[in-house]
């Protein structure tokens, strides 16, 4: 038996504040389709980034074809090792044709000196590669005119043109319809029969059962198991994926459920969401769970009018309302605290005072001018109430820590009449202490009669803080659970595609 | 209780930032003025300084509007042409058609503000990708209209009181500079004490955060370009008064001086950063350099080169500042 094609030994990688990979050891055999599964943040993407030279690793060794890898750069991974990643965001130039894309940067030349391109040869070689994939795509078609499935095939053809040894497909089926996915699978089988090794990442466990030879489950940066796909049922895979410890770091305080605050009826968007209906009550935290790309953030943005609806109704306090822009939502007391605070929540190059009072400047108007002392008073109160650690009110928010930035965003909305809060990943990127403070703020909000909707990728956080949980998968609502009946397994099963209505 | 220690600390923390961002332009101005005073005795005299004040006035007025555009991470390339169109309309109404001067001037200002509004509508309603495009278009359209309505020839012979805007003095102080001071004080209050003023900073600092905060960002930008157009009209009034003429090629290239004034004064092309005081300083610095080069007998050809280098240098200052600012690093 020869050495494994790819072998990781005790590979670790840390980013500030998170151990992304924790002493992972695994083997990938030549010519197999090896599936990587795990929750959001389990370490799949990090692993791919190490193999493709995007990041270095902290400790451990990676052996590729019997050789230890070191100092790999994306160029070296691609051109010397033949490790080719294909991401969901395709790397193609829409205004160039198929042949030009396949040979981009490695054009076949007719004349070395003047660097004229040998188009004839490029087109002939493109035809060859496409034929090998069983694809009937014209080499001279502009890539932008092809459907997403065909574009993916062009990307794979591009990989074959550099003689890929290891093809990494990161959620390739997410944007595809069933037919396109089936075609992709048949191409994958073809490549496998030619001896190409494939790493396949997908949230859809049915697909893994269909196409995979072996699989590795990652959780919190650790390898949980590597085994034959056939030896596990989908339920067993889910059990390996979740199984995270829920400690009592969630200071959940149960409040009394009040009136209906927000009702969403049959909401659909042009891109992703289909027929979503749910209710959120005062005095209650409604958790929204789902995997990356399930449409949770899109749902939040659609509700507050940041993105257009295809159809659907929104009712606030039982009355139908017209929300065309975030301004309308704010007027109805409905606000979104975005996941990406820096690009969507804060004016970074301005002060704490400015940001904390930004959403409600009208409040300080006396005549046409702002009452600066009243504004400052409020900002001082926000800083004190939320214990925001800042040198002064005039400090730029860019200089604050992530946790304190998050508190400034929360403060901005506490300073308004908002009473329906949508938190999108409220504790992402902030330290443990600040997380607890954010949970306490959420507890206080619901205690005082607000409705809180919390989107989170952290299952323990969803389970720890929510009174009720809804689950999205691929733009659809696939589950709803009361706090008492919800488990990580049930949520993950709904998030990976199965419909689980409990009530 | 809590406010006191917070402020004390702020002084220590922001000192460097204060020097580089707020005082940089003032220090530059002082250094240039000392240098010119040493180089020629004709520079530091009351008469010459009043000259400089008058020469900086038009640019300061145009730059005030430009500041708003740049604060929203935009730009207004049409200010020079709007200025020309505005005074040509006034000129025709007052001189050729014999309208009352006040009405003629108000209509001219209205045309300037209206052209600015159109800039804003092109940006917010047609969703043109960047104000560079809408205002570049307006730059050509307004200039063409000015040429057509005047049949490409100047109009002169305004009443005395109209000339006062550009050529009049109160004591030894040029009236045009008093107009600038009034503008600067008004803009300062507008930018720091009104909701629209604060929203301008929010839109420029982070348009998505502003939108999600419930700010009507389109309305804010519409106002910005309207005010920018209006200020070009006010500047035109000053120019028309000074030369006692309205001519269709007035205000050529004024946008570059105005942009330079805003940037020298600490404004950032990234948006959300800049003050009216800084912009005033920027306009004065440019006027001082021009005036000094004239006194030193530097030929107009060479002056053009130096002004070009100043514009490049001022943008480089912006780059350096951004590199040092924590917002860019975060």
Looking up residue A195, the CATH number of its domain turns out to be 3.40.50.300
What number is the average pLDDT over the span B277-283?
94
- Claim to verify: residue A218 and residue A141 sit in the same structural domain: no
Longest Cα–Cα distance in chain A? 85
Give the ipTM. 0.77
At B328 the pLDDT is 39
The CA dihedral of A30, A32, A33, A38, to the nearest 10 degrees, is -70
- Claim to verify: residue A61 and residue A95 sit in the same structural domain: no
Task: Please report whether residue A257 resides in a domain.
Answer: no
Is residue A139 predicted with pLDDT exceeding 50? yes
Q: How far is B165 from chain A (nearest CA, A)?
A: 28
Residue that terminates a domain, selected from A121, A143, A164: A164
Report the range out of A271-275, B14-18, B63-67, B193-197 with the highest average pLDDT. B63-67
A173 three-state secondary structure: coil
At A215 the pLDDT is 96
Is residue B1 predicted with pLDDT exceeding 60? no
CA-wise closest residue to A178 among A151, A215, A206: A206
Whether the Cβ atoms of residue A167 and residue A194 lie closer than 8 Å to each other: no
Task: Please report whether residue A289 resides in a domain.
Answer: yes
Domain that holds residue A387: 262-501
Q: How far is A323 from chain B (nearest CA, A)?
A: 12
Give the pLDDT band (50/70/90) at residue A435: confident
Whether the Cβ atoms of residue A34 and residue A28 lie closer than 8 Å to each other: yes
Is residue B219 predicted with pLDDT exceeding 80? yes
- Alpha carbons B206 and B226: distance in angstroms, whole number: 21
Residue A348 is nearest to which of B189, B201, B327, comparing CB atoms? Answer: B327
CB-based contact B205 A350, cutoff 8 Å: yes
CB-based contact B195 A365, cutoff 8 Å: yes
What number is the average pLDDT over the span B223-251?
96
- Claim to verify: residue A483 and residue A441 sit in the same structural domain: yes
Q: How many CB atoms lie within 10 A of CB B270?
A: 17
Is residue B14 predicted with pLDDT exceeding 70? no
At B7 the pLDDT is 38
Phi, psi of A464 (to 5 degrees): -75, -30
E strand intervals along A292-432: 311-316, 319-321, 334-337, 365-366, 369-370, 420-424
Higher pLDDT pick, A256 / B121? B121
Q: Which chain B residues are within 8 Å of A380, Cβ to Cβ?
A: 2-3
Whether the Cβ atoms of residue A388 and residue A414 lie closer than 8 Å to each other: no
Q: How far is A195 from chain B (nearest CA, A)?
A: 45
Is residue A500 predicted with pLDDT exceeding 80? no
CB-based contact A349 B208, cutoff 8 Å: no
Task: Please report whether residue A193 resides in a domain.
Answer: yes
Residue A459: HSE in the Cβ half-sphere, 13 Å Cα cutoff:
27
How confident is the model over A472-484, as pLDDT tens digits? 998 999 999 999 9
Looking up tokens 């209205």 gives B110
At B227 the pLDDT is 98
Closest residue, chain A, to B7 (C-alpha): A392
Task: Please report whether residue A350 resides in a domain.
Answer: yes
Q: Which chain B residues are within 8 Å of A370, Cβ to Cβ?
A: 192-195, 198
Residue that terminates a domain, selected from A131, A149, A164: A164
Number of domains observed in the structure of chain A:
3
At A21 the pLDDT is 93
- Claim to verify: residue A25 and residue A119 sit in the same structural domain: no
At B322 the pLDDT is 63
What number is the average pLDDT over the span B96-107?
95
Residue B2 is nearest to which of A327, A348, A384, comparing CB atoms? Answer: A384
Q: Which chain A residues are within 8 Å of B211, Cβ to Cβ?
A: 306, 325-326
Closest residue, chain A, to B268 (C-alpha): A349
Give the A-side interface with B, CB within 8 Å: 304, 306, 325-327, 329-331, 335-336, 338, 342-350, 354, 358-359, 361-362, 365, 368-370, 372, 376, 380, 383-384, 390-396, 398-399, 412
Question: What mean pLDDT, rounded, does chain A reach?
Answer: 90
What number is the average pLDDT over the span B1-17?
43
Is residue A17 predicted with pLDDT exceeding 80? no
Relative orientation angle of helices B79-91 and B254-264, to the nearest 10 degrees: 130
Find the range with the poorest average confidence among A14-23, B76-85, B221-230, B283-292: A14-23
| DSSP labels, A367-381 | TTEE-HHHHHHHHHH
- Claim to verify: residue A387 and residue A437 sit in the same structural domain: yes
How confident is the model over A109-135, as pLDDT tens digits? 888 888 888 999 999 999 999 998 889
- Claim to verify: residue A448 and residue A387 sit in the same structural domain: yes
Q: Please write down the HEC assignment for all residues of chain B.
A: CCHHHHHHHHHHHHHHHHHHHHCHHHHHHHHHHHHHHHHCCCCCCHHHHHHHHHHHHHHHHHHHHHHHHHHCCCCCCCHHHHHHHHHHHHHHHHHHCCCCHHHHHHHHHHHHHHHHHHHHHHHHCCCCCCHHHHHHHHHHHHHHHHHHHHCCCCEECCCHHHHHHHHCEECCEEHHHHHHHHHHHHHHHHHHHCHHHHHHHHHHHCHHHHHHCCCCHHHHHHHHHHHHHHHHHHHHHHHHHHHCEECCCCCCCHHHHHHHHHHHCCCCCCCCCCCHHHHHHHHHHHHHHHHHHHHCCCCHHHHHHHHHHHHHHHHHHHHHHHHHCHHHHC
Residue B306: HSE in the Cβ half-sphere, 13 Å Cα cutoff:
15
How confident is the model over A301-355, as pLDDT tens digits? 999 999 999 999 999 999 999 999 999 999 999 999 998 888 889 999 899 999 9
Residue that terminates a domain, selected from A164, A197, A213: A164
Residue B10 is nearest to which of A327, A349, A392, comparing CB atoms? Answer: A392
- Alpha carbons B53 and B283: distance in angstroms, whole number: 10
- Claim to verify: residue A325 and residue A388 sit in the same structural domain: yes
Is residue A396 predicted with pLDDT exceeding 70? yes
Phi, psi of B188 (to 5 degrees): -60, -45
Higher pLDDT pick, A175 / A131? A131
Residue A370 is nearest to which of B195, B205, B329, comparing CB atoms? Answer: B195
- Claim to verify: residue A315 and residue A432 sit in the same structural domain: yes
Give the pLDDT band (50/70/90) at residue A2: low
CB-based contact A358 B210, cutoff 8 Å: yes
At B321 the pLDDT is 66
Q: Which chain A residues are within 8 Å of B329, Cβ to Cβ?
A: 398
Task: Please report whether residue A251 resides in a domain.
Answer: no
At B264 the pLDDT is 86
How confident is the model over A366-380, as pLDDT tens digits? 888 999 999 999 999
Higher pLDDT pick, B12 / A86? A86
Phi, psi of A318 (to 5 degrees): 85, -5
What number is the average pLDDT over the span B41-64?
94
Task: Please report whether residue A256 resides in a domain.
Answer: no
Residue B208 is nearest to which of A331, A344, A383, comparing CB atoms? Answer: A344
Q: How far is A458 from chain B (nearest CA, A)?
A: 25
- Claim to verify: residue A413 and residue A450 sit in the same structural domain: yes
Q: Which chain B residues are within 8 Å of A365, Cβ to Cβ?
A: 195
At B18 the pLDDT is 58
DSSP secondary structure code for residue A326 in this structure? H
CA-wise closest residue to A27 among A242, A223, A243: A223
Q: How far is A330 from chain B (nearest CA, A)?
A: 6
Task: Please report whether residue A237 resides in a domain.
Answer: yes
Q: Which of B20, B190, B214 to mutate to test the interface with A (most CBs of A within 10 A)?
A: B214
Q: Which chain A residues are within 8 Å of B216, Cβ to Cβ?
A: 325, 327
A28 three-state secondary structure: strand
- Claim to verify: residue A419 and residue A492 sit in the same structural domain: yes
Residue B208 is nearest to which of A343, A362, A398, comparing CB atoms? Answer: A343
Say what percent of chain A tops pLDDT 90.
Answer: 60
Write the CA distances from A333 to A14, A58, A354, integer angstroms.
40, 47, 21
Question: What mean pLDDT, rounded, does chain B reach?
Answer: 88
Domains in chain B, ordered, with CATH?
45-315 (1.10.3470)
Q: Which chain A residues are within 8 Å of B194, Cβ to Cβ?
A: 368-370
Q: Which residues pair with B169 in a beta bridge?
A: B174
At A244 the pLDDT is 63
Record the tokens describing residue A259, joined without a space: 């009136």
Is residue A431 predicted with pLDDT exceeding 60? yes
- Claim to verify: residue A3 and residue A141 sit in the same structural domain: no
B309 touches A at CB < 8 Å? no
CB-based contact A362 B208, cutoff 8 Å: no
Whether the Cβ atoms of residue B177 and residue B242 lie closer than 8 Å to each other: no
pTM: 0.79
Residue A347 is nearest to which of B7, B10, B205, comparing CB atoms? Answer: B205
Is residue B23 predicted with pLDDT exceeding 80? no
CB-based contact B213 A412, cutoff 8 Å: yes
Residue A370 is nearest to which of B13, B194, B211, comparing CB atoms? Answer: B194
Q: Which chain A residues are within 8 Å of B195, Cβ to Cβ?
A: 361-362, 365, 370
Q: Which chain B residues are within 8 Å of A331, Cβ to Cβ?
A: 214
Q: Which chain A residues are within 8 Å of B327, Cβ to Cβ?
A: 348-349, 396, 398
- Claim to verify: residue A172 and residue A285 sit in the same structural domain: no
Task: Please report whether residue A476 resides in a domain.
Answer: yes
Write the CA distances from A393 to A269, A408, B5, B324, integer angstroms.
40, 11, 11, 21
Q: Which of A302, A338, A349 to mutate to test the interface with B (most CBs of B within 10 A)?
A: A349
At A498 the pLDDT is 56
CB-based contact A345 B201, cutoff 8 Å: no
B215 touches A at CB < 8 Å? yes
Give the pLDDT band (50/70/90) at residue B2: very low
CB-based contact A358 B13, cutoff 8 Å: no
Record the tokens describing residue A144, joined without a space: 């932008």
At A343 the pLDDT is 83
């Amino acid at each position: 038996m020869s050495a494994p094609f790819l072998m990781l030994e005790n590979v670790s990688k840390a980013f500030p504040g998170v151990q992304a990979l924790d002493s992972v050891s695994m083997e990938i055999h030549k010519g197999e389709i090896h599936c990587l599964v795990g929750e959001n943040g389990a370490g799949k993407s990090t692993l791919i980034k190490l193999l493709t030279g995007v990041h270095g690793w902290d400790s451990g060794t990676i052996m590729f074809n019997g050789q230890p890898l070191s100092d790999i750069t994306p160029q070296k991974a691609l051109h010397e090792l033949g490790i080719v990643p294909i991401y969901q965001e395709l790397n193609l130039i829409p205004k160039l044709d198929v042949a030009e894309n396949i040979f981009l940067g490695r054009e076949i030349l007719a004349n070395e000196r003047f660097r004229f391109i040998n188009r004839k040869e490029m087109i002939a070689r493109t035809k060859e590669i496409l034929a090998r994939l069983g694809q009937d795509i014209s080499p001279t078609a502009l890539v932008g005119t092809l459907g997403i499935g065909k574009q993916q095939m062009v990307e794979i053809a591009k990989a074959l043109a550099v003689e890929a040894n290891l093809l990494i497909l990161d959620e390739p089926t997410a944007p595809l319809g069933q037919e396109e996915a089936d075609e992709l699978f048949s191409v994958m089988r073809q490549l496998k029969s030619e001896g190409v090794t494939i790493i396949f990442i997908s949230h859809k466990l049915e697909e893994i059962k269909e196409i995979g030879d072996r699989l590795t489950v990652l959780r919190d940066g650790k390898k949980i198991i590597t085994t034959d796909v056939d030896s596990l049922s989908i339920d067993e895979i889910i059990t390996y994926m979740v199984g995270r410890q829920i400690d009592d770091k969630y200071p959940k305080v149960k409040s009394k459920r009040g009136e209906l605050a927000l009702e969403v009826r049959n909401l659909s968007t042009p891109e992703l969401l289909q027929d979503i209906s749910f209710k959120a009550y005062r005095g209650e935290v409604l958790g929204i769970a789902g995997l990356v790309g399930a449409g949770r953030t899109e749902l939040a943005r659609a509700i507050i009018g940041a993105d257009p609806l295809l159809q659907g109704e929104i009712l606030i306090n039982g009355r139908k309302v017209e929300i065309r822009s975030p301004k309308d939502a704010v007027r109805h007391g409905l606000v979104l605290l975005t996941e990406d605070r820096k690009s969507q929540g804060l004016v970074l190059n301005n002060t704490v005072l400015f940001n904390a009072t930004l959403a409600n400047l009208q409040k300080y108007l006396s005549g046409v001018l702002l009452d600066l002392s009243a504004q400052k008073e409020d900002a001082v109160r926000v800083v004190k109430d939320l214990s925001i650690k800042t040198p002064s009110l005039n400090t730029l928010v860019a200089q604050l820590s992530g946790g304190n930035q998050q508190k400034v965003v929360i403060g901005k909305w506490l300073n308004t009449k908002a009473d329906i809060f949508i938190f999108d990943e409220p504790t992402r990127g902030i330290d443990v202490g600040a997380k607890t403070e954010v949970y306490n703020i959420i507890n206080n909000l619901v205690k005082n009669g607000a409705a809180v909707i919390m989107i989170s990728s952290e299952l323990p956080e969803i389970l720890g803080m929510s009174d009720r949980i809804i689950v999205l998968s691929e733009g659809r609502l696939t589950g709803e659970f009361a706090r008492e009946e919800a488990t990580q397994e049930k949520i993950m099963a709904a998030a990976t595609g199965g419909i689980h209505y409990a009530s | 209780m809590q406010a006191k220690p917070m402020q004390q600390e702020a002084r220590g923390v922001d000192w460097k930032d204060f020097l580089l961002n707020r005082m940089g332009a003032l220090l530059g101005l002082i250094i240039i003025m000392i240098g010119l005073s040493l180089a020629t005795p004709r520079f530091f005299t009351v008469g010459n300084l009043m000259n400089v004040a008058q020469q900086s006035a038009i640019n300061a007025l145009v730059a005030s509007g430009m500041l708003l555009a740049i604060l929203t991470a935009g730009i207004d390339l049409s200010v020079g042409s709007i200025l020309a169109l505005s005074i040509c309309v006034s000129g025709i109404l007052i001189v050729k058609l014999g309208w009352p001067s006040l009405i003629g001037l108000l209509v001219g200002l209205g045309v300037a503000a209206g052209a600015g509004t159109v800039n804003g509508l092109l940006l917010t309603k047609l969703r043109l990708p960047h104000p560079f495009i809408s205002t570049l278009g307006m730059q050509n359209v307004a200039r063409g209209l000015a040429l057509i309505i005047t049949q490409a020839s100047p109009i002169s012979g305004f009443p005395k009181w109209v000339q006062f805007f550009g050529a009049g003095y109160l004591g030894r102080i040029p009236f045009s500079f008093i107009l600038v001071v009034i503008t600067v004080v008004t803009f300062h209050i507008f930018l720091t004490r009104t909701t629209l003023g604060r929203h301008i900073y929010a839109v420029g600092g982070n348009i998505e955060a502003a939108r999600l905060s419930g700010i009507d960002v389109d309305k804010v930008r519409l106002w910005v370009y309207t005010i920018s157009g209006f200020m070009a009209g006010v500047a035109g009034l000053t120019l028309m008064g000074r030369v006692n003429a309205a001519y269709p090629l007035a205000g050529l290239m004024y946008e570059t001086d105005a942009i330079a004034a805003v940037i020298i004064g600490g404004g950032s092309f990234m948006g959300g950063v800049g003050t009216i005081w800084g912009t005033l300083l920027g306009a004065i610095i440019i006027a001082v350099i021009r005036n000094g080069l004239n006194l030193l007998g530097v030929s107009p050809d060479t002056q053009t080169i130096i002004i070009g280098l100043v514009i490049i240098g001022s943008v480089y200052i912006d780059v350096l500042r951004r590199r040092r600012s924590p917002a860019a690093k975060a």
